[in-house]
Amino acid sequence: MREIVFDTETTGLSPQGGDRMVEIGCVEMFNRVETGRTFHAYFNPGRSMPAGAEAVHGLSDIFLSDKPLFADQCEALLEFFEDSPLIAHNAMFDFGFLNHELGLCSRPVVCMTRMVDTLVLARQRHPGAKHSLDALCTRYGIDRSLRIKHGALIDAQLLAQVYVELTGGRQIGLSLAAEAPAAAEAPADAIIVATVARPPRPHRPSDEELRRHAAFVATLTDAIWDRVEGRG
């Protein structure tokens, strides 16, 4: 099954309040394995970048000034998406911005039934734990040393690895056979040695050992078995 893991960076938290998407990074997976195909683009938001948002992702007005508008990359992005499920962390946020940008381009929005939210998966699998992308990378031993600031493509690549762990780990394709495989036939020239199980050897005391045991028991006083049996 083909799936797309993606992440976005924005000018803020509210598309309805005028915030815009400034970066998107997408990673293609097939049967939970990264194919190496990615989609990555920066967008000129047509507005200034708040200092708080720039501190998170490091994308300045100067850097974004010569980047294309989202509308210029919209068709290429949709072509990369195809009709695959779309996976994101806190996906309502990313879907909100994605569909807002599509609406501004007069394009149909992405159906929410395609959404897979790894934050929801993480909360179900690890209730009470921390569920940020950094925390999940630490939990699963995923190297995030390149994540100095938030970046859509690097975050999507990390999330792809987290998604694999949340949905079964690296051995997701392994399954136990319903029945044990039949034994292979021996080659015609094989030498077959028949093995006969030896019956168990009896372990009983000798007559001498029995006499010595009886003599020892006769020296005991106030034996516990006499009290239990009411003979003391």
Q: Number of helices and strands (H, E) in the chain? A: 9, 5
**What residues form DSSP beta bridges with 3?**
29
> Out of 89, 100, 131, 150, which one is annotated catalytic?
150
CA–CA distances in Å: residue 123 to residues 90, 126, 128: 11, 5, 7
**What residues form DSSP beta bridges with 33?**
30
Measured CA to CA, the distance from residue 139 to residue 196 in angstroms comes to 53
**What residues form DSSP beta bridges with 115?**
86
Residue 126 annotated among the catalytic residues of the structure: no
Q: Which residues are annotated as a binding site?
A: 7, 9, 57, 155
DSSP code of 65?
T
Q: Which residues are annotated as a binding site for a divalent metal cation?
A: 7, 9, 155
Degrees to nearest 5, angle at CA 94 with 68 and 96: 95
Contacts of 34 (CB under 8 A, 6+ apart): 27, 28, 157, 160
Q: Which residues are annotated as a binding site for substrate?
A: 7, 9, 57, 155
Sign of the Cα pseudo-torsion (36, 2, 72, 52, in order): negative
Is residue 2 within 8 Å of 39, Cβ to Cβ?
A: no
Measured CA to CA, the distance from residue 166 to residue 29 in angstroms comes to 15
Which residues does the annotation mark as catalytic?
A: 150
